Amino acid sequence: MILPGVPAPNLAPLLGKETLKHRGDVAYRAFATRSLLNRCTSRNMPFEWTVNPYRGCAMGCRYCYATYTHEYLGSTVAEDFHASIYVKRDDPQETSRRLAVAVRRGERIALGTATDPYQPGEAEEGVTRRFLEQVAQRRGVRLGIITKGAVILRDVELLQRIQERNDVSIHVSLISLDTPLIRRLEPWAPPPEVRLEVLRRLAAAGLDVGISVSPILPALTDREADLDALLGRAAEAGVTRLASTMLFLRSPTREKYLRWIEAEFPRYLEAYRRAYAKSAYLTGPYRERLRSILDRLRKKHGFLRDDAGRQSMQRFPGPPAQLQLWEPPRPAAEPATIP
């Protein structure tokens, strides 16, 4: 994982020169790496290792905080993160060696912190699958998976096998039931009804599955009634855990997201600019109010407290927020239809 304040390594020599494949407008290239497992040294993170089978992500989320990782590959255009995907080619022996180290030390592994491990390309490339097959050969791995992708259903049987001898938890990310809004925000991710079905099938398969309502977007996905409906559907699907974080905006995501707000929701642009003028995090009364809403809904729908999500909600100090900031009149919701 690449962390704020850490000098950017030059990764360009690791890039494959040839394009493996084009899928629509997305180009896939090879990326040589010693291991799929990378050490995470930040004490703020609730894990010690990360696995990101790809660099870049074709889901296209407007708010994606991982966009900056493409800068280390020489990219200067934020949108490249979604259009130019690097498929990792590791040395399986080195990945296996690091996996053994993580098991021996009881360290936690997060799969999918800077890319979606089940983005569309995974159906053919299978990098995530190959990593999980290594995990399945071991005992005592502590693994957390975060995804929006329905391709995870391909691996249900493999995940069940892993769960028999290891500690594996899965979060499916879904921030709203509003399908037209989700299509604008996360243009190439599965629609909400598909992700609810993914949650239902994972839970029915006996896997430890939670919903990640992350990030909550001020003015767009923060209404209590909408969150209530979303968590109600997740609970019906058999989900038992909830993680959530607020929108985090730093460059180049900040500029990219604000360009999108300006084009799609210009009435919120000034409020966003003010709220994120001094910090990448939104804190203060707005954040406290949102936290109390989530606590209320967590109890109402019977979700267990998710420690990782709680930590990320509580960790960051920041400037006083404007309580009234996000309360301009909002348009009526568009009817939710499944494409």
User: Which residues are near ligand SF4 by CB under 6 A?
Assistant: 57, 59-61, 64, 66, 115-116, 148
- Closest approach of ligand SF4 to the CB of residue 256, in Å: 11
Query: In terms of CB distance, is 114 or 275 closer to ligand SF4?
Result: 114
Question: Nearest approach, Cβ of 132 to ligand SF4 (angstroms)?
Answer: 18
Q: Which is nearer to ligand SF4, 115 or 245 (CB)?
A: 115
The CB-of-104 to ligand SF4 minimum distance in angstroms stands at: 30
Nearest approach in angstroms of CB 277 to ligand SF4 is 23
Nearer to ligand SF4, 155 or 186 (CB): 186
Pick between residue 66 and residue 235 the one whose CB is nearest to ligand SF4: 66
Whole-number minimum distance, CB 152 to ligand SF4, in Å? 12
φ/ψ of residue 296, rounded to 5? -60, -45
Give the shortest CB-62-to-ligand SF4 separation in angstroms. Answer: 9
Going by C-beta distance under 8 Å and a sequence separation of 6 or more, which residues neighbour residue 315? 44
Nearer residue to ligand SF4 within complex by CB, 116 or 125: 116
Tokens of 153: 């259903």
Nearest distance, CB of residue 140 and ligand SF4, angstroms? 28
Dist. CA 321–CA 50, nearest whole Å:
32
Contact 176, 131 (CB under 8 A): no
**C-beta of 61 vs 227, nearer to ligand SF4:** 61
Bridge partners, residue 213, by sequence: 244
Between 95 and 212, name the residue whose CB sits nearer to ligand SF4. 212
